[in-house]
Amino acid sequence: MARAPRGGPIRVLLDGTPLLGNRTGIGRYTAALAEELASMSDVDMRAVAFTLRGWRKLRKVLPHGSRARGMPVSARLLRRCWLRAPFPPVELFAGFTDVVHGTNFVLPAAVRAAGVLTIHDLAFLDAPDDLPPSDETLPRLVARSAERADIVLTPTRAVADVTAERLGISSDKIVVTPLGVDPAWFTARPPSDVLRRRIGLPNKEYLLFVGAAGPRKALGWLLKAHEATADLPPLVLAGPGHNRRDGQVRSIGYLSDVDLRSVVAGAAALVLPSRDEGFGLPVLEAMACDVPVVCSDLPALREISGGHASLVPYGDIEAMGVALTTALASPPSPTTLAARRAHAAEYTWRRTAELTVAAYRRAMGS
């Protein structure tokens, strides 16, 4: 149900829980959105964390001047409650607001606020066994959240179409808000010798995967293709959860944003062999710093790569090997590099925030 608009800045309560701990895709999205919203004069942003003990850390990771709130209840208990009924309402702990934005698949219950929900992908619907036991109710909770939301945000049109079909909600209720590329990616430089030694990078050319470990990323396919293809450089895995370290495959763990930009900028090619993706931000970030991209031929990756990446049929080991070999065989021309950078530059976090604020207004009935 739409809420009547009010005067003054829009009061937005953001789910800031993804800002706590190591940030992968959803954490980076939430952080960049929070930074942009905090800089807008027509938005009064606060953030809330759903964690029993760690919510106070939210104060240290929010943009300067932003206010943090916490619900001193475990996230698991809250999810159980919200699956049954819209109680307890988030306003009980965080105060009244115009919009509650669930940035991470789940819309917090609210009494008076308009509800906006971000659904990043729906991979878990086809592979529920990939979910940890603590998330076994996530499919039902996401469906319930989408039903209650006034507006649902998705990062790509591909996810919007799947969301409308699989969750049975009207496409008129869905708004596409593509993610952005931080300007620092366009000036990233390859890693120094000091950084190479510190994080264990090869001293020579390397292929790179960026992302957390997990079945959805389909690293098994990439590893088989890498092993079966002659004369490929070592493969580096950047992100949490990887534990490979031998002559040809190296895990370097979670990296700071600064170190990650250098590692990507120094790669011979970035590889994203995912079984499913909602957006694929590393694809654009690699393009921004002149690194060729090889990725799965998936709807979302086709959409965001814009014809500037080598797309490989999912699971085809031989085709992946050929694509990697081809990407390394001849350096791209200056014209090709310029086209890739121009494409990546079309995606900005400011635009993400502007589209999101427009969705807030629409949810409120403005």
User: Within its chain, how far is the Cα of 236 from the centroid?
Assistant: 20
Q: Please tell me the least confidently modeled range out of 89-103, 176-190, 346-360.
A: 89-103
The pLDDT tens digits for 284-302 are 999 999 999 999 999 999 9
Nearest to 52 by CA among 34, 79, 28, 29: 79
Query: Over 60: is that where the pLDDT of 121 sits?
Result: yes
Domains of the chain from N-terminus onward = 10-180+349-364 (3.40.50.2000), 183-345 (3.40.50.2000)
Mean pLDDT of 182-187: 97
Is 131 in a helix, a strand, or coil?
Answer: coil
What pLDDT, on a 0 to 100 scale, did the predictor assign at position 366? 58
> Please, how many CA atoms are within 13 Å of residue 164, restricted to the half-sphere of its CB?
13
Whether the upstream peptide bond of residue 240 has omega within 30° of 0, thus cis, is: no
Mean pLDDT of 71-93: 80
Helices (H) and strands (E) in the chain, counts: 15, 13
How large a percentage of the chain has pLDDT more than 90?
74
Query: Over 70: is that where the pLDDT of 3 sits?
Result: no
The pLDDT tens digits for 320-343 are 999 999 999 988 999 999 999 999
Q: Which two tokens stand for residue 224?
A: 């088989």
Residue showing tokens 């709130």: 69
The pLDDT tens digits for 229-269 are 999 999 999 999 898 777 799 999 999 999 999 999 999 99
What pLDDT, on a 0 to 100 scale, did the predictor assign at position 70? 72
Query: Over 80: is that where the pLDDT of 72 sits?
Result: no
